[in-house]
């Protein structure tokens, strides 16, 4: 595996994963994040999470969520 950063987008509804995608381009992942909000925000208990894979162990770190988590920053 190469050293490129990956971005993962996950769509959850009612606490269950509905869909997931990964990209190597941050701009593409961000566009998808905004697109998924428009396309899927009407699902019951929807949560959309954008993560970045970082560090030598490849941990996934949350970049942003929708809806925003209360008290996050």
| pLDDT single digits (tens) 18-55 | 999 999 999 999 999 999 999 999 988 999 999 999 87
Q: Which H or E run contains 51?
A: strand 46-54
Q: Please tell me what DSSP assigns to residue 2.
A: -
Say what the pTM is.
Answer: 0.85
What is the four-CA torsion angle of 12, 24, 62, 48, rounded to 10 degrees? -20
Ranges of each domain in the chain:
7-66
Separation between Cα atoms, residue 53 and residue 61, nearest integer Å: 6
Q: Read off the pLDDT band of 56 (50, 70, 90).
A: confident
Six-digit token pair at 22?
Answer: 């990964």
């Amino acid at each position: 595996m190469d050293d490129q950063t990956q971005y993962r987008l996950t769509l959850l509804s009612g606490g269950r994963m509905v869909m997931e995608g990964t990209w190597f381009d941050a701009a593409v992942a961000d566009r998808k994040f905004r697109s998924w909000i428009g396309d899927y925000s009407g699902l019951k208990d929807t949560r959309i999470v954008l993560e970045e894979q970082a560090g030598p162990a490849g941990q996934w770190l949350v970049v942003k969520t929708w809806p925003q988590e209360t008290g996050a920053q």
